[in-house]
Amino acid sequence: MHAIQLVAPSLSSLRSTTLPDPQPGPGEVLVRLHAATLNYIDLAVATQRFPGAQFPIVPVGDGAGEIVALGPDVDGVEEVHLGMHVIPHFMPDWHSGPLQQRNVRRMRGITLPGSLSDYVAVPAASVVPMPAHLDFAQGAALPVAATTAWNAVRAARVRPGSVVVVLGTGGVSLFALQFAKASGATVILASSSEEKLERGGRLGADHLVDYVARPDWDAAVLDITGGRGADLVVESVGGSTFARSVAAAATGGTVFTVGFVGGVHATVDVLAVMSKALRIIGNNTGSVADLREAAQAVAVHRIVPVIDRRFGIDEAAAAYAMLAEGRTHMGKLAIVHGDA
């Protein structure tokens, strides 16, 4: 089969190659992959900023495709059948329940083969049906980004009347915007790009904050909410914005921490955390059950993931370069097989 391998932790180390077709083992299904989407963790693996990767590796955790073969002992797995359009989970051993170390040792695109190949064998219990209204590139956007955003909205118990702040226009932020609007919330979107703010407004954002013109965007959130603050801040940046996220949160609010592109160290006003009784929640995506719920929400609300650009599989290096540049795209970058 055709595949792209990352042979070393470097953006110049992506190689087109031919590998043996995988065979599904007991409890596994063989998925013909049609698309993948990039996450920041894929860039971190390719630039030696994420530990534990085993090289050479077929990279990229998120993908979507169709089941073309069943391994032994799969017949009893609910819903799994030949021809089914599916989304394999990034961490196939984390089926449900809280995060445990034993559940996250194996990660697709890091310690297991990822999605830049024609086929992949994965546990049948780790695949989720793809919403019928999505194409494969849109389905491939769900595993990390949609699951993370869904868990953020659930953790903060977002409902009509809630106020949600999303930072930037990456995949997690835009899914959080879409899930929050589907829940009846008011959404404040902060970005440095006027064009992206306009597009975010068309997706449903109620208030738009240009954090270049208004670097004290936390004060802008307080102004918009009459001093109350946000019930949920989806903190997708990291150290450089964390203190402002705490300041922007309402009493009893949630700061849901999902990113580190802005650094991993932050200075926090502990008194503000205490006096406002904030919930600061770290997140490592979610389980297969969480992905299933997120996909069901996408299907029920007819949510369409934002795919900024689609690259061919032999253009993977260009896709990584665009993700590394960081400022030009909005939503997800997809890498597709053929015309997916």
Binned at pLDDT 50, 70 and 90, residue 78 comes out as low
Calculate the average pLDDT of the chain.
94
Share of the chain above pLDDT 70, in %: 98
CATH topology of domain 2-141+305-336: Quinone Oxidoreductase; Chain A, domain 1 (3.90.180)
Q: Give alpha helix (H) positions in 89-165.
A: 136-139, 147-155
Q: What is the pLDDT of residues 171-228, one digit of tens each?
A: 999 999 999 999 999 999 999 999 999 999 999 999 999 999 999 999 999 999 999 9
Neighbours of 227 (CB within 10 A): 9
* pLDDT value of residue 88: 98
Mean pLDDT of 291-300: 98
Mean pLDDT of 27-46: 96
Q: What is the pLDDT of residues 311-326, one digit of tens each?
A: 999 999 999 999 998 7
Mean pLDDT of 40-47: 93
| Helix (H) or strand (E) segment spanning residue 293 | helix 288-300
Residue 297: CA count within 13 A, CB half-sphere:
23
* 253-264 exposure pattern, b = at least 16 Cβ within 10 A, e = fewer: bbbbbbbbbbee
Q: What are the extents of the domains in the chain?
A: 2-141+305-336, 148-282
Whether residue 168 has pLDDT greater than 80? yes
The whole model's pTM is what? 0.94
Q: What residues are paired with 255 via a beta bridge?
A: 233, 280
Whether residue 134 has pLDDT greater than 90? yes
Q: What is the pLDDT of residues 4-35, one digit of tens each?
A: 999 999 999 999 999 999 999 999 999 999 99
Contact between 146 and 305 under an 8 Å Cβ cutoff? The reply is yes
Place of tokens 């959404």: 187
Nearest residue to 250 (alpha-carbon basis) of 282, 271, 276, 218: 276
* pLDDT value of residue 118: 97
CATH topology of domain 148-282: Rossmann fold (3.40.50)
Q: Give alpha helix (H) positions in 194-287.
A: 194-203, 217-224, 242-248, 270-275
> Considering just the CA atoms, what is the radius of gyration of the chain in Å?
20
* pLDDT value of residue 340: 64
Weakest-pLDDT range from 62-66, 74-78, 117-121, 133-137:
74-78
Whether residue 259 has pLDDT greater than 80? no
The two structure tokens encoding residue 167: 């930072």
Mean pLDDT of 240-248: 91
d(CA 216, CA 171): 24
φ, ψ dihedrals at 294, nearest 5°: -60, -45
Nearest residue to 113 (alpha-carbon basis) of 56, 43, 74: 56
Mean pLDDT of 60-70: 97
Whether residue 263 has pLDDT greater than 80? no
Q: What residues are paired with 35 via a beta bridge?
A: 64, 336
Whether residue 265 has pLDDT greater than 80? no
Q: Is 3 left (phi over 0), alpha (psi -120 to 50) or beta?
A: beta
**Biggest CA-to-CA distance, the chain:** 61
Whether residue 254 has pLDDT greater than 70? yes
Contact between 206 and 229 under an 8 Å Cβ cutoff? The reply is no
* pLDDT value of residue 115: 98
Whether residue 240 has pLDDT greater than 90? no
Place of tokens 């097989």: 337
